[in-house]
Amino acid sequence: MNRYKKPFPFVSLLASFLLINVNAQAHEGNLPSPVQHEDFYDNGHPIEAKVTLGKFLFFDKLLSGNKNIACATCHHGLTDTGDGLSLPVGEGGRGLGVSRDTGSDNDAIIERVPRNAPPLFALGARSMTVLFHDGRVEVDETIESGFRTPAGDELPHNLENVLAAQAMFPVTSGTEMAGQPGENSIADAAATGDLAGPDGVWEQIAKRLRNNPEYVTLFNQAFGITQSEITYAHAANAIAAFESAVWRADKSPFDRYLRGDKKTLNKSAKRGMKLFYGKAGCSSCHSGKFQTDLQFHAIAMPQIGPGKGHGPSGYEDFGREAVTEDVLQRYQFRTPPLKNVALTGPWGHSGAFDTLEGVVRHHLNPVKSLLHYNCQTEPRLPSREDLDSADCYVMNSPSLVAAIADANQLETTRLSKKNIRYLIEFLHALTDPGNIDLRHDVPTRVPSGLTLAD
C-alpha cells in the first residue's frame, strides 16, 4: 500500500481562496457607506433652543382642535415613536400605546386613522426627501415653497425642510388632531379646507401659541421673533428640529460595522447581512444608508381598516395613485426606512403584521401571504363593534384581494428557516441601543398646562 498521500493541491486551494476573497469583496461593495453627521439637517445638531421648543410642541395637546391629542399620542417615545397599534386611535381616543381605547359617548373617535403611524427615526436625514406612506409630501424645487404637498400654493414659504412641511398636516386632519365639524373652530376650518387663511387651521393654532407667555419666550429664544411674528410654520420647524436631533438612530451595530468595527455583528447577523445585500434581494428596494430607495412598490400588503375612501366601496387604499393619479401606481407605497425596524411594529402601511417574522415572510412570498392572511387575529387594534365591521372589509372581498395580488411587483424568494432567522438577526442589528429606552425624550410638563396623558 502506498503510504504517501497525493500532492497537496496548493494551486486549487489558492484559487478557491482567491474566489472566496473576491466574493467577499463584492459583497462588501454592496454595502452602503456609513451615516455621518453631515447627512442630517444642521449636521445633526440643530439649535438647542429650537429643539427644546419642538419637544414641548410635539407633546402639547394645545395644537389639536379639542386640546385632547398631541403629535406624541401616535408617535410617543414610550412606544418607539409609533403607538404599537396597527392603525392609530386618533382624535377622541384615550390613553397611550396599545392600551389606548376608542373613547366613549359623544367624544369617541369617528374612525380609525386609515394608515399605520410611521416611526420617526432618521427622518431628519437630508436624503429623506419623500414622506408619508404615499409620498404626498416631498421635496420639489420647481415649486416656490420648495415642497409638493396637499396644500399646494397655500404652503408657507419659510419651512426649513421637508420634515417641517410634513408637520404642517396632522393638525389639519379631523381624524388625527383637528376634530370633527361643530366641535371647535379649527375642526370647522379643516373641514372646509381652510388651512392658510386668516381664520384657517394654521393661523388659529398660531394664535393659541401667541397667547401663551411661555411659548412667546420660547419662540423668541429659538427664532429671534416677537409675539406677533409667531406662525405655525415656525412651530413646524421646531418640531422637525426636535425629531431630527433626538431620533437619528445612527449608532446601531450595523452602523458601527460600516464605520470599521467588524466585531459589532455576531455571526448570525453577518450571515443575515449577506442575505439582505445578496440572495434575499432586500437591498434592491431597501438600499442606501437608511435602507430605503424612497420609491413606491406594490407588494401585496393586506389592507385593513377604513381605507382612504378609494374605490367603489370606499374601503380601499390606492396608495401612490391617489397622489399622482397614475393608475399604474395603484397599491404602491413608499419603501420604509429600516432604522430600528425591530422596535417599530406593527409593520406595513396598514400595520397588517404584528410580528417582524410575519412581515419578513410576507416579503418572501407576498401573494401567498396575502391570500392566507388572517384579518381576524393578526391586526393589533382596540375593538369596537362598528369599527370592527369595517376592519376586514377588503380582506373579506375576494375581488378586492385579487386586485391587490395582481398588482404585486415582488417575486417569490425561497429561503430556509435558518436563513430567515439570520435575516431577522440582521434586522435586529439595525437597532440603535440608545433608542431602546426613550423615556428621557418625554417632557414632564408642557407650557399649556394640559395633561401629557389621559
Domain CATH code at residue 191: 1.10.760.10
Q: Are 68 and 91 in contact (CB under 8 A)?
A: yes
**pLDDT grade, residue 16 (50/70/90)?**
very low
Q: How far apart are CA 195 and CA 271, in angstroms?
A: 50
Compute CA 407 distance to the chain's CA centroid, rounded to the nearest angstrom.
23
| pLDDT tens string 197-213 | 999 999 999 999 999 99
Residues 124 and 181 in one domain: yes
State pLDDT tens for residues 128-181.
999 999 999 999 999 999 999 999 999 999 999 999 999 999 999 999 999 999
| 137 plus 279 within the same structural domain | no
CA distance linking residue 2 with residue 5, whole number of Å: 8
CA distance 443 to 55: 7
Q: How buried is residue 107: exposed, middle or buried, by Cβ count under 10 Å (0-12/13-18/19+)? A: middle
Q: How much is the pLDDT for 107?
A: 84
With cut-offs at 50, 70 and 90, classify the pLDDT of residue 8: very low
Cα separation values, 101 from 109, 155, 361, Å: 9, 34, 30
Residues 63 and 177 placed together within one structural domain of the fold = yes
- Check whether residue 227 and residue 318 sit in a common domain: no
- Over the stretch 240-294, which tens digit does the pLDDT of each residue have? 999 999 999 999 999 999 999 999 999 999 999 999 999 999 999 999 999 999 9
**What are the b/e assignments for 190-227, b being 16+ CB within 10 Å?**
bbeebbbeeebbbbbbbebbbebeebbebbbebbeeee
DSSP code string of 312-333: TTS-B--BTHHHH--GGGTTBE
Q: Are residues 291 and 396 in the same domain?
A: yes
449 versus 1: the higher-pLDDT residue is 449
Q: Residue 12: its pLDDT value, please? A: 44
Of the ranges 11-15, 75-79, 255-259, 331-335, which one carries the lowest mean pLDDT score?
A: 11-15
Q: Give the distance, in angstroms, between the CA of residue 245 and the centroid of all CA atoms in the same chain.
A: 16
Q: Give the containing element (helix H, strand E) for 24.
A: helix 10-29
**pLDDT tens figures, 35-57:** 999 999 999 899 999 999 999 99
| Predicted confidence (pLDDT) at residue 9 exceeds the cutoff of 50 | no
157 assigned to some structural domain: yes
Domain with 346, as residue range(s), is 253-433
Q: Which residues contact 357 (CB under 8 A, 6 or more apart)?
A: 420, 424
Q: What value does the mean pLDDT take over residues 220-241?
A: 98
Q: Is residue 205 part of a domain?
A: yes
Residues contacting 234, CB < 8 A, separation 6+: 158, 219, 222, 223, 225
CB 240 within 8 A of CB 161: yes
Of 24-33, 147-156, 361-370, 433-442, the range with the lowest mean pLDDT is: 24-33
Q: Are residues 290 and 318 in the same domain?
A: yes
**What value, to the nearest 5°, has the Cα angle with vertex 80 and ends 74 and 82?**
25
Q: CB–CB of 53/217 below 8 Å?
A: no
Q: What per-residue confidence (pLDDT) applies to 2?
A: 38
Determine the pLDDT at residue 5. 37
User: How high is the pLDDT of residue 250?
Assistant: 97
CA angle 402, 403, 404 (to 5 degrees): 90
Q: What is the pLDDT of residue 125?
A: 98
Residue showing cell 366601496: 313
In the prediction, which pLDDT does 29 show? Answer: 66
pLDDT above 50 (res 20):
no
The pLDDT value given to residue 27? 58
What does the mean pLDDT of the chain come to? 94
Tell how strand 296-297 and strand 147-148 pair up.
unpaired
Q: Please write the tens of the pLDDT for every residue from 99-138.
A: 999 998 888 999 999 999 999 999 999 999 999 999 999 9
Contacts of 339 (CB under 8 A, 6+ apart): 121, 122, 249, 250, 252, 290, 291, 430, 432
For the cut 50, the answer to whether the pLDDT of residue 7 exceeds it is no
The H or E element spanning position 64 is: none
Asked if 240 and 308 sit in the same domain, the reply is: no
pLDDT at site 3 = 36
Is the confidence at residue 392, as pLDDT, over 90?
A: yes
Sign of dihedral through CA atoms 172, 381, 371, 274? positive
- Both 158 and 291 in one domain: the answer is no
Q: Do 147 and 139 meet the contact criterion of CB atoms below 8 Å apart?
A: yes
Q: Does any domain span residue 94?
A: no
Res 21: pLDDT? 43
Q: How confident is the model at residue 426 (pLDDT cuts 50, 70, 90)?
A: very high
In a domain, 454, yes or no: no
Residue 25 pLDDT > 80, yes or no?
no
Mean per-residue pLDDT for 436-441?
96
Q: Are 162 and 137 a contacting pair, CB within 8 Å?
A: yes
Confidence class for position 453, pLDDT limits 50, 70, 90:
confident
User: Is 421 a domain residue?
Assistant: yes
> Running DSSP on this structure, what letter comes out for residue 94?
B
Which pLDDT score, from 0 to 100, does residue 19 have?
A: 41
Query: What's phi and psi for 159, nearest 5 deg?
Result: -80, 135
Q: What is the pLDDT of residue 24?
A: 45
pTM: 0.93
The answer on pLDDT for 18 being more than 80 is no
Q: In total, how many domains does the chain have? A: 2
Do 417 and 328 belong to one domain? yes
In a domain, 240, yes or no: yes
**48-59 vs 213-223: helix crossing angle, rounded to 10:** 140
321 and 299: one domain?
Answer: yes
Distance CA 222, CA 217 (A): 9
Residues 46 and 183 in one domain: yes
User: 234 and 272 share a domain?
Assistant: no
Residue 179 counted as domain residue = yes
Instruction: Please report which residue ranges of 151-281 form alpha helices under DSSP H.
Output: 162-166, 185-191, 201-210, 213-223, 232-246, 253-258, 267-276
